[in-house]
A and B are shown apart, each in its own frame.
Chain A
Amino acid sequence: MNLNEKEDITADWQWEINATQSWFKLGLRDLYSYRGLIMRFVRRDLIASYQQTIIGPVWMFLQPLLTTIIYLIVFGSFAKLSTDGVPKILFYLSGTIIWTFFFDNISGTMYTFITNAHIFNKVYFPRLIVPISNIITQSVRLSIQLMLFVVIFLFYHIVYDQFDLSYTLLLIPFLIILTAAFALGSGLLISVFTARYRDIDTFFQYILRLGMFVTPVVFPSSLVPEKYQFLFWLNPLTPIIETFRAVFFNQGAIQYNYLLLAVASTTILLMLGLVLFKRRETEVMDII
């Protein structure tokens, strides 16, 4: 919908529906007027995901913890992958929390049209509401999981007197926003194409699964052979996770150049994703 205030000779129309949607109108004001619905979706998703469970939201802690324990056993004890001297539990937990945040955001976004087709076919609201509410939901989960991380971190910090914290801690919120933006941008791009060709969805499921192994989730990037280092660091998640670890575990210097590269590529991706999504959001409904 284009909420143009238009002056007409016969009447003062308040809105107009046209055959095409403009390329560069993101409808942010429209989106703001729907903020109530965004929060309602967040509430729905948070409540609904723990209905009929006994321990309810405790799962938010248990999920990363169980994953970490499995990584500890498989990658830590069996495969004996290095963690660059960081306590294994903290190393895996940091990797898995960020990876899961990214994964849930992108997979929530890339199925926007498919999973909400029944609603989109009956009611209008800016479609961007759905991925945005998904990101907020995942951020709530993330913050709870980060609390778990902080508790364990403080345990090591106080009991073993390890790790010093510095002003670089201020980078953490920025890293989280960058992760969300990367997931949103790529998710939006993919969503427009998966709506039309379901093959793309299968394809990206594999890419995502592979993605965990080209991201330093269960191993440090120092393990990657020298000749692949550059490619490895092109993945925006590599500088994100490495910076996160550098901040908490004082592992080497922060690679600001790669971080800046990640910011640049994520910004481009997000812009492309937003514009294409906005442009296609209604047309997609004819082919889903």
Chain B
Amino acid sequence: MSNLILKAENISKHYRLGVIGSGSFKEDLQNFWKNTFSAGGNKTTSSINTEPKANDLWALKDIDFEIMKGDVVGFVGKNGAGKSTLLKVLSRITLPTTGTIKGKGRIASLLEVGTGFHAELTGRENIFLNGQILGMQKKEIISKFDEIVAFSGIERFLDTPVKRYSSGMYVRLAFAIAAHLDPEILIVDEVLAVGDAEFQKKCLGKMKQVSAEEGKTVLFVSHNSQALKNLCTKAIYLEKGRLIDMGNTQDVITNYLKREQTLYLHRIYADPDTAPGNDSIRIKRVEMLPQYLSGSNIIDIRTPLVIDFEFWYLPKEEMDLGVSIALNTVMGECIFDVDSLARPYKKGLIKGQCTIPGDFLNNGSYSINLIFVKNTSSALFEFEDCLSFDVEDFRANTAWYGDWPGAVRPKFKVQLQQEEI
């Protein structure tokens, strides 16, 4: 008997968009559509020719992989790359359009914590309900009951309906049940994004224990590349439904970050007539030049970032010109807005530069707006989202892998000193 526990051959999943129906699934598809095909029209990464025909969409295309017993496999890829669809196919929630998956042993999927929780029922009842929905037997739950309750830390509220729980308690209970699942193959989707810091640590620890000590196979999707690096023995990188890379976690994640990052770092326009702008301003070039640390070729929180730009200035009247640079998160929150000195310039080409120091931004996705300001009061032209980039996490000397809080993450010194013994 070989150690192969799961084998997927030639898996494809086809959706036809715009068919009758509604609900969460349709939203999923719409997100997929938006992320994959409309926002990134100028992508350079094109070894792929999945030009979509009107309403056809291949969420997965010709995926093959094998998974060994005891592997912890991380799935990486952008939103809409097909990760969740793949997990759904593996969990038997949706059927593949083509292909076969063969496996051994019981599969349990955790695509959400607390699936099937009933708000009116007590915590105790919900432990059984959720546990059985996830595939546990009643006997099994009874034998693990005390452990589950202890893990969740909600002993006092065991006989309270879960609708009275705080969202934190709810998640803790839900995860506690999930953590005590005992299948041969566990499928986990993004559940680490919930709960408070201490609890997240507990969950990651539990997952590590499950795979390392008990030899379980775990398939796991997360956007937390640190967690992936820490937990996974193997990674699979999907893009637009295709399997791009598979193998050693470190290599696959580096490859992924590199490919996904270089997309919007350069905007160069040769012809002033068609370049973005208006009668007064025409953009020639906007570029992000990351000052990679030696031995690294991805932008992480330590990397200083130079924003370098050139534009043609075609003023109709005498004025003071200033440029401001705004950095926004992907959610549209402004992290900072810095501006140049305003003064008169002559008609012609103008060059500008700004450096965001390393150890300043938190990890996340950002975009930059360039705003050209007339007489420090009105906007001449606003070049929105001209650059966008991801800042990856980097941590050394810490055992904490949850989200790092804060809009920025400067490295101010915090000093400690022993005063007394």
Contact = CB atoms under 8 A, between A and B. Distances in A.
Interface in A1-41: 1, 6, 8, 10-21, 36-37, 40
B93 A122 contact: yes
A141 interface: no
A52 B119 CA distance: 12
B95 interface: yes
B4 A11 contact: yes
Interface in A35-93: 36-37, 40, 43-44, 47-48, 51-52
Contact of A282 (B93, B102, B107, B134): B93
A44 B161 CA distance: 12
Contact of A16 (B89, B101, B116, B125): B101
Interface in B361-393: none
B2 A11 contact: yes
Question: Do most interface residues of chain A lie in helix, strand or loop, or is the interface mixed?
Answer: loop
Contacts of B19: 287
Contact of B120 (A36, A48, A286): A48
A37 B100 contact: no
Among A19, A52, A117, max chain B CB count under 10 A is at: A19
Given A47-B125, A122-B111, A37 B133 contact: yes
A123 B109 contact: yes
Nearest to B116: A119
B94 A286 contact: yes
A163 interface: no
Contacts of B21: 196, 287-288
Interface residues of B, number: 48
B319 to A, nearest CB: 57
Interface in B110-146: 111-112, 115-116, 118, 120-121, 125, 128-129, 132-135, 137-138
A9 B20 CA distance: 44
Nearest to B102: A13
A44 B25 contact: no
Contact of A285 (B1, B94, B107, B112): B94
Contact of A12 (B88, B93, B104): B104
A227 interface: no
A47 B1 CA distance: 47
A121 interface: yes
B129 A17 contact: no
Interface string B329-348: 00000000000000000000
B96 interface: yes
Contacts of A40: 128-129, 132-133, 138
A197 interface: yes
Contacts of B132: 36-37, 40
A273 B98 CA distance: 26
B103 A285 contact: no
B269 to A, nearest CB: 43
B93 A121 contact: yes
Given A18-B100, A19-B98, A48-B120, A10 B133 contact: no
Given A17-B100, A117-B24, A47 B121 contact: yes
A48 B121 contact: yes
Contacts of A19: 95-100
Contacts of B128: 40
Contacts of A174: none
A-side interface size class: 35 or more
Interface in B4-29: 4, 7, 15, 19-21, 23-25
B105 interface: yes
A118 B23 CA distance: 9
Contacts of B2: 10-11
A145 B93 CA distance: 38
B92 interface: yes
B217 to A, nearest CB: 13
B95 A122 contact: no
A80 to B, nearest CB: 43
Contacts of B91: 123-124
A20 B4 contact: no
A98 B364 CA distance: 61
A10 B4 contact: yes
Interface string B274-290: 00000000000000000
Interface string A118-135: 111111110000000000
Interface string A260-288: 00000000000000000000001101111
Given A119-B133, A122-B93, 17 more contacts: A15-B102, A17-B90, A40-B129, A43-B125, A47-B121, A47-B125, A51-B120, A121-B24, A122-B115, A123-B91, A123-B109, A123-B134, A196-B20, A285-B25, A286-B15, A287-B20, A288-B21
11 contacts: A8-B102, A16-B100, A17-B102, A19-B95, A21-B95, A37-B132, A44-B118, A118-B24, A119-B116, A120-B93, A124-B109
Interface of B: 1-2, 4, 7, 15, 19-21, 23-25, 88-105, 107, 109, 111-112, 115-116, 118, 120-121, 125, 128-129, 132-135, 137-138, 161
